[in-house]
Amino acid sequence: MLTPLTPMEFARRSRQLYGDRLAVVDGEKRFTYEHFLSRCDRWSHVLERFGVRPGDRVAYVAPNTHAMLEAFYAVPQMGAVVVPLNYRLIGDDFAYMINHSGSRVVCVHSDFLSLIDTIRTQCPDVTHWVALEGLQCGWHDYETLVAAATSDFTRVEITETDLLTINYTSGTTARPKGVMITHRNAYINAIGTLIHLPMTTADRYLWTLPMFHANGWTFVWIVTAVGGTHVCLRKVDATNIFALATREHITMLCAAPTVLIAVANAPLEQRVDVPRGLRVLTAGAPPAAATIERIEEDLGWVITHAYGLTETSPLITICEPRAEHEGLPVSDRARIKARQGVELITSGEMRVVDEHMRDVPRDGVTAGEIVVRGNVVMDGYFNDAEATARAFLGGWFHSGDVAVVHADGYAEIRDRMKDVIISGGENISSIEVEGALLRHPAVLEVAVVGMPDVQWGETPHAFVVLRAMMSCGDDELRAFARGHLAHFKVPKHVTFVHELPKTTTGKIQKYVLRGGRVGITAQ
């Protein structure tokens, strides 16, 4: 009587219960659950005709559209594996990941057809190329195929340990690695997220988070599980977010801190009639307390901070609210919300350990590495036994993130291991310094890195983006920092830049700053 734990069960249930409810909004297109899941069945039928069999991989390059969402049902329900690729990469990256994953079918949105056309000859094992939108010579047309297909396909028996997706890491310093997520991994992450962030059929979820990014933090399945409405957003900027939030009566969204910064600093005229009480889940990088405070105060949105990695399906911890937090001043509550928090009920075990794998004390000071094991941890890296063995050294997945644990058990990331600044024997958290500088009213974004110093070995160096029409000198900013930080943590140098170098998922590339490979404009 055991039922395999798979997100495909969410689709089965919602089709029965919510078949006539609105499932997907994509511009002018609106699909009920019956229509949406029928389209998925027809695409499964087409893939089967293409020769796709259980275990085969199907790659996608697309923004947040209905066709991209359909991938997360049509492909795995026939036992095949979804490979959602970051659409912001270059041709060589796509060729590598398509070949490395062994994808047999590649589906591409119209915005990227010309780019992918340039690398098709480099991918000899791909048997079919599909244009999700936009007609292109030599490509199958997705909508034509779906319209002509039937809903009949071979429904295979799925086990919960079967591979569901391969999600590639950003690969900023080496070739990207293919993270293998199983049906069980995704199911457990979805259930755990729903326990901590309940949703109902009344929820209307805005797709500000790329679906390719760790499977949209499993919200591609979570929203369906509760019979909510997926509202697709193809281009993520503050203007579009506010417009759709208002027009479509959005109740929830997910966003990386870089998106939160854009929202917090959007012009006032864009915020007219924006609904208050909208729930926001943020993760992907540590958010600044100042950003959380500003959004909650100015917009009335409620922010919850979670932490995880692609390798953990992705959520490990959540900054779980407690009754005693509600009575705190807004600034103090924002500081707590900026912490990574505690384990999700379903995620498994998380520890913060020293180099001998001993738990660090709960003093909010002693730093160690976050290691985890449990239900959401990946099955390994695809075709990379060596990297898998390194990641699971000692039977725990090693995150590479440095954190402290507070007396209440809440973890707080202080840095990536490679980003900790060691100055005169003292460890300095770049995140702590960034958080202090972001409280200055003229600072929009900031990144702090360690730079070589003859006397101290290395010292903090801040790269700062100022708000439009505002100015600030380096002496003023350092004086401000001295009011919020220990003296040795204050940046020795400040460089003002027009923008910070970032990965395609919005994470700041500190190695670029350390290497001096960023165009700067001193002020």
Q: How many CB atoms lie within 10 A of CB 444?
A: 18
Lowest mean pLDDT among 92-96, 117-121, 387-391, 424-428: 424-428
Sequence-distant (≥ 6) Cβ neighbours of residue 108 within 8 angstroms: 60, 61, 62, 116, 129, 130, 131, 132, 139
Q: What is the rounded CA–CA span in Å between residue 80 and residue 398?
A: 29
- Using the predicted structure, report yes or no on whether residue 147 has a pLDDT greater than 60: yes
CATH number of 420-514: 3.40.50.300, 3.30.300.30, 3.20.20.70, 2.40.50.360?
3.30.300.30
pLDDT of residue 523: 42
- What tens digit of pLDDT does each residue of 302-349 get? 999 999 999 999 999 999 999 999 889 988 999 999 999 999 999 999
Residue ranges of E strands in 27-102? 29-32, 57-61, 81-85
Tokens at 390, concatenated: 């390194």
β-strand partners of 291: none
- What fold characterizes domain 33-182? Rossmann fold (3.40.50)
CATH superfamily of this structure's domain 236-416: ANL, N-terminal domain (3.40.50.12780)
pLDDT > 60? residue 521: no
Which are the contacts of 416, defined by CB distance < 8 A and separation ≥ 6?
400, 401, 402
Of 158, 155, 107, the C-alpha closest to 134 is 107
Write down the pTM of the prediction. 0.86
Take residue 3 and report the two structure tokens written for it. Answer: 């039922």
Whether the predicted pLDDT of 516 surpasses 90: no
d(C-alpha 43, C-alpha 22), whole Å: 20
Asked if the domains 33-182 and 420-514 are classified in one and the same CATH topology, the answer is no
Give yes or no for residue 457 having a pLDDT over 80.
no
For the segment 503-523, the average pLDDT, to the nearest whole number, is: 69
What are the φ/ψ torsions at residue 58 (nearest 5 degrees)? -125, 120
Domain limits, the chain: 33-182, 236-416, 420-514
**What are the C-alpha distances in Å from 369 to residues 275, 411, 412, 418, 427?**
39, 11, 11, 11, 14
| CB contact set of 445 (below 8 Å; sequence gap of 6+) | 261, 438, 464, 465, 499, 500
Question: Of the candidates 108, 103, 126, 125, which has an alpha carbon nearest to the alpha carbon of residue 57?
Answer: 103
If we measure between CA atoms, which residue out of 332, 339, 306, 4 comes closest to residue 155?
4
